[in-house]
Chains A and B, each alone.
Chain A
Amino acid sequence: EVQLVESGGGLAQAGGSLRLSCAASGFTFSSYSMNWVRQAPGKGLEWVSYISSSSSTIYYADSVKGRFTISRDNAKNLLYLQVSSLRADDTAVYYCAREPRLGLFDCWGQGTLVTVSS
């Protein structure tokens, strides 16, 4: 069964940092591009970051550029998102999503909640 499980969320102070993880199982993780998408409480979805299968290509939304860092460890089937210089508007559920082809986010994790207190 294809599965993505996020972890690492929690309560952080404004200006603080967290490292989010996404554990993949049930498929060949190293063959897939991956994304992080977030959803503020009661709000819509917002794309955050993309990483290609080999980590050769990385993109960020303008709202997180310079503060968040995406990475992956294909040997461990893990995707990461280092979130730093946190602001109140970074409070959200963070989902990892698999992208088997451009524009198709076909598998999502259950999400991990990041709460930033000011």
Chain B
Amino acid sequence: QSALTQPASVSGSPGQSITISCTGTSSDVGSYSLVSWYQQHPGKAPKVMIYEGSKRPSGVSDRFSGSKSGNTASLTISGLQAEDEADYYCCSYAGTSTNWLFGGGTKLTVL
């Protein structure tokens, strides 16, 4: 199966909101409420920001939120801050034969 589709880059100014989309198919994003989002700063390990589509792990700012419509999941970051500048990856369950699919990643630039 192919990777999930994300925009290569998005940008926003401090204080603004941005949304990153993650498009899959009816075999992955559309079939399961198991989309997660990971933030990765350069040279660092990924950090989970959203799991099960819209749940935030403890310690993650409520400026991060997740949603899903059909085969597309979305990550919204409100009140952009400089430290939000990073790469973001979506991940979806795709059944027992494929298991986990990641998106290609989106580079967020805070202007």
Which residues of A line the B interface, CB within 8 A?
35, 37, 44-47, 50, 59, 61-62, 95, 97, 101-106, 108-111
Contact = CB atoms under 8 A, between A and B. Distances in A.
B52 A103 contact: yes
B96 to A, nearest CB: 7
Nearest to B33: A103
B105 A59 contact: no
B51 interface: yes
B64 interface: no
A51 to B, nearest CB: 12
Given A44-B89, A44-B103, A59-B99, A104 B46 contact: no
B3 interface: yes
Contacts of B98: 61-62
B93 A45 contact: no
Interface of B: 3, 34-36, 38, 40, 45-48, 51-52, 57, 89, 91, 93, 96, 98-105
Contacts of B103: 44
A105 B99 CA distance: 13
A105 B48 CA distance: 7
B60 to A, nearest CB: 11
B45 A109 contact: yes
B91 A103 contact: yes
Given A44-B103, A109-B45, 10 more contacts: A44-B102, A50-B99, A102-B34, A102-B93, A103-B91, A103-B100, A104-B36, A104-B52, A108-B46, A111-B45
Contact of A108 (B45, B52, B57): B45
Contacts of A37: 46, 102
A60 B101 CA distance: 12
A104 B48 contact: yes
B34 A45 contact: no
Nearest to A62: B98
Given A105-B36, A106-B57, A47 B48 contact: no
Contacts of A44: 3, 89, 102-105
Contacts of B100: 35, 47, 50, 103
